[in-house]
Amino acid sequence: MHMLDGKVVAITGAGRGIGREIALLCAREGAAVVVNDFGGSLSGDGSDAGPAVTVVKEIEQAGGRAIVNLANVADAAGAASIVDDAIGAFGRVDAIVNNAGVSRDGMFHKMTAENWQAVIDVHLGGSFYLSRAAAPHFREQRSGSFVHMTSTSGLIGNVGQSNYAAAKMGIVGLSNSIALDMQSFGVRSNCVAPFAWSRMTESIPVRSDAERQRVERLKTMTPDKIAPIVAFLCSDAAVDVSGQIFCVRKNEIFLFSPPRPVRSLHRAEGWSPATIASELLPAFRPSLFPLQVSGDLFAWDPV
């Protein structure tokens, strides 16, 4: 028995990188797979059926079952077609992996409205559109798993990625809301923040020796390391895991804490700007978080 026997898993952005490795592993674990990828460039331009077709052929040659879907998840109808194709080909859908993404990096003071919207539309909009299309089916069958790709660029920080970071933090809020709203139907929703060298990380700006060293560490973290946690979360073994944020860094797996209060201070007579400055700030200052990028927090070599 494999962990995903009898399951149908739809994976976006599955033609390359992390999505490809997730699709291949889910198929090896017994799932029928919808390989979605419209084959655009890193910035989201153009289209190419080749990557998705190649992944499907690999799965079929290994004895698995898979179909191609070339829709753009930033389009609501396109995202819905992924669910329709899963049901049409395999009779059901059991798990959604929101992995598709584009990158249009730039410093915030230079960020254009077009580049902001393009990244939000694919990452956050696409995750909503596909999840919303699958939700009625999950509700009816009273089971289902959503796995959404977030990023430490949002969870911790990164330079030159305000659009990407905002979209990825939005996905965390979306996932938590899905987990809360659909828990009574046996549906779960989780996030995974991957460290892996892929087209998405190739775009990270390099402006210093420290950033260059960080990129070199990333190159040792291959996309196949991300797939096991995703396959697990799609399986029945994770039936009681929902609303969580996992992070994978080579052979390390981390569980992130959600935002929760860390300090409080009460003043019976209320607060003014002056008393906030004189009383609250000194009390809170030791607990204030420094500005960091993910490389600052994960400063050791990946193991």
Per-residue pLDDT band for 302 (boundaries 50, 70, 90) equals: confident
Look at residue 268 and tell me if it is in a domain: no
Look at residue 286 and tell me if it is in a domain: no
- The owner of tokens 């699958």 is 134
- The predicted-structure confidence for 240-277, as pLDDT tens digits, reads as follows 999 999 999 999 999 999 999 999 999 999 999 999 99
CA distance 33 to 31: 6
Look at residue 279 and tell me if it is in a domain: no
CA distance 111 to 167: 14
Look at residue 130 and tell me if it is in a domain: yes
Range of the domain at 254: 8-258
Look at residue 272 and tell me if it is in a domain: no
Q: Is 251 helix (H, G, I), strand (E, B) or coil?
A: coil
For residue 261, the number of C-alpha atoms closer than 13 Å in the C-beta half-sphere is 3
CATH number (domain holding residue 30): 3.40.50.720
Output the six-digit token pair for 240.
């009681």
Selecting among 164, 197, 232, 246, the annotated active-site residue is: 164
Residue 164 among the catalytic residues: yes
pTM for the predicted model, two decimal places: 0.91
Number of domains observed in the structure of the chain: 1
- The predicted-structure confidence for 109-129, as pLDDT tens digits, reads as follows 999 999 999 999 999 999 999
